[in-house]
Amino acid sequence: MTVGTVTAFTGVATGRIDWTPYLMGGGIGVLSWAVFAIADDPLGITTALSAVAGFAAMPFVGAETVWHNSYWAQTIPSLSYGSLFLVGVILGAFAASVGARRFQFEAVPAVWRRRFGPSPTRRFAAAFIGGAIEMYGARLAGGCASGHGISGTLQLALSSWIFTIVMFTTAILVGSYLFGDSGER
């Protein structure tokens, strides 16, 4: 289906419409077919990341404590499909950014700098705290924006639709409050 057909179909003057997000979203949809049928393991991040966190915890609390923990007993730290998937995500984005000549070290993003200033320490501290809260929430809910937000919703799971709606409502309220006065993006 060409842009022209869609234009005629919708009656929208579309010179400006960028179809990339729809195409990439469609790509993620097709990837979902493959992971369901071939790997029997829906797209998701935080279950695998929890297993990796078991390794990260070992130097601090000792391997024995990790192996005896009731959560890691069911989310076993191991070199698995899920943990390699995480490595693949980093590599794929790296390849795409290099291919598009968009690879760039970034300490403080523009949207943050406009609102909270240029301090990398402040941005790193906020990212650390935000990441920790986000991950705790994802584990409490049993999934993230991928595991619930895409894989769960596409299976029409009740839990995933509730998660996604509550999550975006909260994120939009908090995000608008935090960044509301930072001008245009």
Q: Which 13-72 residues touch another protein, going by CB under 8 A?
A: 13-14, 16-17, 20-22, 24-43, 45-46, 49-50, 52-54, 56-57, 60, 69-72
Least distance to another protein, CB of residue 8, Å:
13
Which residues, numbered 78-97, are part of the site for another protein (CB under 8 A)? 79-97
* Residue 171 CB neighbours (<10 A): 12
Region for 104 from its dihedrals, namely left if φ exceeds 0, alpha if ψ lies in -120 to 50, beta otherwise: beta
Does residue 155 bind another protein (CB under 8 A)?
A: yes
Does residue 166 bind another protein (CB under 8 A)?
A: yes
Does residue 3 bind another protein (CB under 8 A)?
A: no
Least distance to another protein, CB of residue 7, Å:
11
- Alpha-carbon gap, residue 36 to 43, rounded angstroms: 8
DSSP 13-73: --TT---HHHHHHHHHHHHHHHIIIIIS--S-SHHHHHHHHHHHHHHHH-HHHHHH-HHHH
Least distance to another protein, CB of residue 50, Å:
4
- Alpha-carbon gap, residue 124 to 122, rounded angstroms: 6
Which of residues 8 and 95 has its CB atom nearest to another protein in the complex? 95
